[in-house]
Amino acid sequence: MAEQRRDRRDGRGAGEGARDVPEPWRRSVRAEEVSAWEELVATARRTVSDGLVVGTSGNVSVRVGDTVLVTPSGVPYDRLTPDDVTGVDLDGRRVLGSLVPTSELPMHLAIYRTTDAGAVVHTHAVHATAVSTLVPELPAIHYMSGALGGAVRVAPYAAYGTEELAENMLHALADRTGCLLRNHGTITYGTTLDQAYDRTAQLEWMCRLWLTASSVPGLTPTLLSPEQVAEAGERLRGYGQRE
């Protein structure tokens, strides 16, 4: 990937979103961050094993207090160890670790600054990326659109790692917990890594469903109305076991 090659070449893997904190100001890893890092690495590896990314494309982050733990740039996820903890503050200053954060840090930080997100997952999933090149939003092909807040919008294209892309993404995420990025991929967030990951997996599945249904010659898929999607969203909020 061009973004990975540039990250390794010039050391600016955090794009426009990260700044260094002088070494004396960096701190040791806290217990809750050790646990969060383990979960982050497991989630990042899952994006590869489930076919949502290839190599080190895509990225994952989780917020612990005012610190954002994030996958580093250009490092294969199966090589990440507990010693590779990479963290920044909400202004993008590196406060944990020595590895360069992902080049897509501006998108992650934009979500944390404007929502109550606890985790963010960005992928280059094939079907979702294909849909991003075809339509301004994913048609409401399934009621799981309600889990993301409604019809999934496509953010206009901008170069990876830029504040422009982060701004486009925020507009597409208004009242939503996920969106497509034109000619690029997906981004979703949730209160936990499991929730953020489930949302990106569901989004990829819905994109594959729509592409499959719309490819049948002479037939047009039936779609759900905004009211039906909203109703599904309400019902999904009460889905599952209650403690």
**pLDDT on residue 165:** 98
Answer whether 13's CB lies under 8 Å from 72's CB: yes
Burial of 25 (0-12, 13-18, 19+ CB in 10 A): exposed
Q: Is 3 a catalytic residue?
A: no
In the chain, which residues have pLDDT < 50?
A: 1-16, 22, 24-25, 241
**pLDDT on residue 28:** 82
Look-up: residue for tokens 């963290």?
Answer: 87
Catalytic option among 104, 164, 234, 243: 104
pTM confidence score: 0.87
**pLDDT on residue 229:** 94
Q: Alpha-carbon distance 34 to 82, whole Å? A: 7
DSSP state of 238: T
The amino acid at residue 113 is R
Burial of 138 (0-12, 13-18, 19+ CB in 10 A): buried
